[in-house]
Structure 1
């Protein structure tokens, strides 16, 4: 074996020991609160990908879409007949499309009433609250009742919330926060949104 191979083997053994020690220290078993934020493309896609993983393990999941108001998206078409999944399209579309604040607030409150119910149901393993963060930014929902419900949810229930910005109180109780950055987007180069890519 060459010196290079020896050095690589030693480096990997050291790395494995560090990783194994960290794994051994993670002994708590409970659901987690994951926030996917930032101005880049892919937050909802990441949440749906995690949900697919959960479904693959036989977990029961639900999606509540707080803004998207259409059922022809590719992800909805693919997952709508999936066992162990409930999918709720509660929004009326983006606020600049509806231009009706009262209607948007009513839709947000209906979506939250459903979300609150699911957060108390221990038969759900994973909940995805897609674009929920905008409800706090636009002041359609108060954040404190949401914090209380998230804290009181069943021990093994995990929740993913997506949206560009996140209310500070929700970030304060989150277990995992990932930021999706925007370095370049085809739309700004004049490329039309495509089925299978954007929706």
Structure 2
């Protein structure tokens, strides 16, 4: 593994309407953990919903996983609570980045928070530019990545949905969706 003084940290953004944004981020997280890097995953939306990737992460001693949030929020009954929760999670994310304890930090579904207006893209981009250690890899996921975050990213992938099983009435399948 490259030492921190020899590593160029990357900012990676996975966005778009298609499936695979978080899955791609978790693949990179597991890859980094396999190389002995310390990884922190912070999920902004999932809440207490149990996922296979979270269960798999428990097998690694170098992955710290935080599944937070109030669950899926597009039909929220309490937007003030969603804003408060998202802001608290963002504060945790900033602390983890500032701690310099991790080689990779995944901010899963943070882009949704920007799309809902709970956290501004400018605030995220400015924090990253000022405070992320140059050697730290940072991965941000979710639809509607803000232009300010896209502008500072090194790699941006937009997932495009061609078709999805849900359109046939097939509900989320264990091992594929969660």
Same fold (TM over 0.5): yes
Q: Bigger radius of gyration, 1 or 2?
A: 1
Matches within 5 A, 1:1-199: 29-151=7-129, 152-199=131-178
Partner Cα distance (1:149, 1:82) in 2: 29
Partner Cα distance (1:30, 1:99) in 2: 43
Partner Cα distance (1:191, 1:71) in 2: 19
Partner Cα distance (1:90, 1:197) in 2: 21
1:29 CA drift (Å): 4.0
The Cα offsets for residues 136-165 of structure 1, whole Å up to 9 and x where unpaired, read as 111111333322221121111010000111
User: Are 2:38 and 2:101, in contact at CA under 8 Å, matched by a contact in 1?
Assistant: yes
Which consecutive unaligned segments of at least 5 residues does structure 1 have? 1-27
User: Are 1:119 and 1:149, in contact at CA under 8 Å, matched by a contact in 2?
Assistant: no
Partner Cα distance (1:142, 1:184) in 2: 31
TM-score (norm 1): 0.82
Could you list the structure 1 runs, at least 4 aligned residues long, displaced by more than 6 angstroms after superposition: none
- Determine which structure has the larger helix proportion and give its number: 1
Higher relative contact order at CA 8 Å, sep ≥6: structure 1 or structure 2? Answer: 2
RMSD: 1.4
* Matched length: 172
